Structure 1
Amino acid sequence: MNDIIYLDNAATSWPKPPAVLQAMQTCMLEYAANPGRGSHQMAVKASRALFETRKQVAKLFGVRNPNDISFALNTTHALNQAIKGYLREGDHVICTNIEHNSVRRPLEYLRKHRGIEISYIQNDKTGELNVKDIEHAIQQNTSMVIVNHSSNLLGTIMPVGEIGELCRKKGIKLLVDAAQSAGILPIHVSDMNIDMLAFPGHKGLLGPQGTGGLYLHPDLELDVLLHGGTGSKSEDIDQPNVRPDRYEAGTQNTVGIAGLNEGIKFVLQETVEKIHARELLLTRKLMEGLMGINGLTILGPAWDQPRTGIVAFNIKETDSSELAFILDQSFKIAVRSGYHCTPLSHATAGTMATGAVRVSPGYFTTDDEVDALIAAMKEISTQYA
């Protein structure tokens, strides 16, 4: 598989730093026991691995107490915990019009079954947002604002700090979806007034799939999604209130979290700023190469505007899945096509008829690989001129 040019890092980053693989193998071979479920040496070592990773997450996001971070299967799991665990009947929620289905679907479920109200704020065609529109949408019963830090289709970066300041002044909780920003953009939960932060382990944090988590402000408590064994307060009939046990029922993915620990260490060592600068350089090189192709339209902010390493495009009215198939089969280039689990974004961008091809370079992507994608699209475009 090493001959594949992998440009789908917005879905899952690949390859991983070698230390990630080594940590997972070491865990499997030496201490893959249940953390928090025993007092023997292997269980204790597993518990220490989880706490060490929690400390790394806290360091990356400016969290004071590592126990305010609970591990989850992925960002979707974390978002569901935050949304379903906090919102009550009659609450009003504000979110943007470019949210992922991991936000939209839980909200629409609660609209049907719990009677919440939802206001979708309209972003412009490139995904840009006017914070004043959020302010104008606030009602007396508004309890939460939800925003993705960066669009997974358009690459647009949301003004989370400005939104957080507004929410703080109005006494509204802010939930941030960091699926496309954790490990790529600077995040400090206190400075940005973030009450809840859902993040993946398998994207910008360079860990394995099946990892992620939720930061929860120390003054907040949520209804839990899962009830069960926690390794603490086992004599009680109710789920314990102590963190992070309250939100981590069942055996955790110790092997994956051990790998995540090394991924975060790599990010901290390289620095988020360096990683973003590298991805932005590749992204701008890619956009410049694609802009001259006949019939090709790039979505999102202009090439010289702030954005994350996501470049989505179409060629005229061609179905995006057809283009991605050709890239895969004829050029051995892996990209993403379709609707990217965000139909709201496609409605905003005007691409519901075709979807879009999404190219997402990563920190380990080379200039030659970007050049190969550009050359391939130039060749493919001649078929649709």
Structure 2
Amino acid sequence: MIYLDNAATSWPKAPGVAEAMSRFLLEEAGNPGRSGHRLARTAAERVESARRALARLLGVSPPERIVFTLNATDGLNLALKGLLRPGDHVITSSVEHNSVTRPLRALAEQGVQVTKVPCFGDGTVDVDALARAFRSNTRLVVLTHASNVAGTLQPVAEVARLAHAAGALFLVDGAQTVGAVPFRVADLGADLLAFSGHKGLLGPTGTGALYVGPGVDLRPTREGGTGTSSELDVQPSDLPHRLESGTPNTVGIAGLGAALEYLEHRGLEAIRAHEVALVRALREGLREVPGLRLYGPEDPARCAGAVSFTLPGLEPSEVAAILDASFDVAVRPGLHCAPDAHRTLGTFPLGTVRLSVGPFNTLDEVRQVVGYIAQIARSWG
């Protein structure tokens, strides 16, 4: 199989992930922070070691500002619902994933005011329109770092400056960039950063995290056991315990820790250069297919690892089915849980075919897929 659905989840996982998870279940699977015996201590060290590795990757100090979540969606909900109150105003964009759009819709029904600023045809946010959207009660700006549909990298540092100048906080959805695009939190200017562990970080599903910056006070969206301050009937006030209740996904975090070791060894700069080369080869090759339409920025350096296209005469779902059944190529068609992004690109309601590369794809694979798509255009279009 040629796997080009890394924007949904990475595959294969980093070397050592499966082994770390198996070893944890067989030898180390205590409940972290809940007991003093060896298994509990070892499990706690696996969790804290992964937390420290994430902090190093993102330039975060102290590591306790990294809160483990189930995925990016979980982290975004924790940030949005832990921060916003009725009467607050929030600014977002027209290319967001449903993990932002749906919580904001729910909050709007509770009295939160939501402004959705437009994006240009390549998916880039209109910064001037965003600057005009601020109000006296603007509490937050939330923006994806990169579109999960077109790969478009947003000018997040510029948006952060606008938000902070207006006295607002800035939440970044890093689902498509953390682990794939090298950066430090300080580079983004983010007060909050939500991300998954199973995409660019190459770890297992069911893992993710939320960075909570200084001066950000989130109300817990759930309370419960933390292994600390058990004598209290209120949630502890210190991070990460304030936002981490219940037994964590320790086996998943053990796998994530192994993935982070691999990323540290290979280097994010090398991974980024590799994926930019793959995206460039995809776009250059697909541009030669008669009738095919590409979406997103032309410059691969302005994209994460996703490339979207449509073929005349064929629905995206048909193209994906042919690639799967006839050529053993895995891609994702449709709306990609981001209908607003497709409205912006002009591809709603059928969506696009999305090819999303990862660190284990090769130029030869990309060239093969371009050839298969050209064959589909000739034979089925």
User: Structures share a fold, TM > 0.5?
Assistant: yes
Aligned to 2:152: 156
Deviation (angstroms), 1:16: 1.5
SS in 1 for 2:171: strand
Q: CA deviation at 1:168?
A: 2.0
Taking the aligned partners of 1:9 and 1:160, their CA distance within structure 2 comes to: 23
Give per-residue Cα distances to partners, 1:290-309, cap 9 Å, x unaligned. Answer: 11111210111114552111
Q: How far apart, in 2, do the equivalents of 1:171 and 1:164 lie?
A: 11
Q: Counterparts of 2:305 and 2:117 in 1: how far apart (Å)?
A: 24
How far residue 218 of structure 1 moved from its aligned partner, in angstroms, is 2.9
Question: Alignment identity in percent?
Answer: 45
Contact 1:288 1:303 in 2 (8 A): no
- 1:135 is the counterpart of 2:138: no
CA distance in 2, matches of 1:135, 1:270: 39
The one of 192, 199, 202 equivalent to 1:196 is 192
Q: Please provide the CA RMSD for this pair.
A: 1.2
1:315/1:384 contact within 8 Å kept? no
Q: Which amino acid aligns with 1:264?
A: L
Aligned with 1:334 (options 294, 316, 330) = 330
Classify the secondary structure of the residue corresponding to 1:106: helix
Cα distance in 2 for partners of 1:38, 1:218 equals 31
Give the Cα–Cα distance (whole angstroms) in 2 for the partners of residues 304 and 97 of structure 1: 21
Preserved CA contact (<8 Å) 2:78 2:221: yes
Q: Following the alignment from structure 2 to structure 1, what is the Cα–Cα distance between the partners of residues 188 and 352?
A: 32
Residue number in structure 2 paired with 1:104? 101
In structure 1, the residue matched to 2:66 is 69
Match of 1:247 in 2: 243
2:68 equivalent to 1:84: no
Q: Which amino acid aligns with 1:325?
A: A
Pair 1:119-2:115 in alignment: yes
Shift of 1:224: 1.2
Please give the alpha-carbon distance, in whole angstroms, between the structure 2 residues aligned to 1:130 and 1:323. 32
Q: Deviations over 1:323-381 (max 9, x none)?
A: 11111011110000110000000000000132110001111001221122111101111
Answer yes or no: is the 8 Å Cα contact 2:173–2:194 preserved in 1: yes
Maintained 8 Å contact 1:178/1:199: yes
The separation in 2 between residues aligned to 1:305 and 1:194, in whole angstroms, is 21
Partner secondary structure for residue 88 of structure 1: coil
Give 1:233 shift: 1.5
Partner of 1:182: 178
Distance in 1, matches of 2:239 and 2:335, equals 37
Cα deviation digits, residues 167-221 of structure 1 (max 9, x gap) = 2222110000000000111232234321100010000001000000100013222
* Distance of 2:265 and 2:47 partners within structure 1: 20
Measured against aligned partners, the alpha-carbon deviations of 1:87-137 in whole angstroms (never above 9, x if no partner) come to 01101100111000000000000001x201111111111012232221111
- Tell whether 2:348 aligns with 1:364: no
SS in 1 for 2:68: strand
C-alpha contact 2:15 2:259 (8 A) present in aligned 1: no
Is there any run of 5+ residues in structure 2 with no aligned partner, and where? none
Does structure 1 conserve the Cα–Cα contact (< 8 Å) formed by 2:335 and 2:349? no
The number of residue pairs the alignment matches comes to 381
Please, which of 256, 279, 282 is the counterpart of residue 283 of structure 1?
Answer: 279
Distance 2:222 2:45 in 1: 23
Structure 1 residue ranges (4+ consecutive) displaced by more than 3 angstroms after TM superposition: none
Partner of 2:142: 146
User: How many Å separate the matches in 2 of 1:43 and 1:384?
Assistant: 58
Say whether residues 1:377 and 2:377 are aligned partners: no
Could you say which residue in structure 2 is the equivalent of 1:14? Answer: 11
Runs of 5+ consecutive residues of structure 1 not aligned to the other structure: none
1:53 alignment partner in structure 2: 50
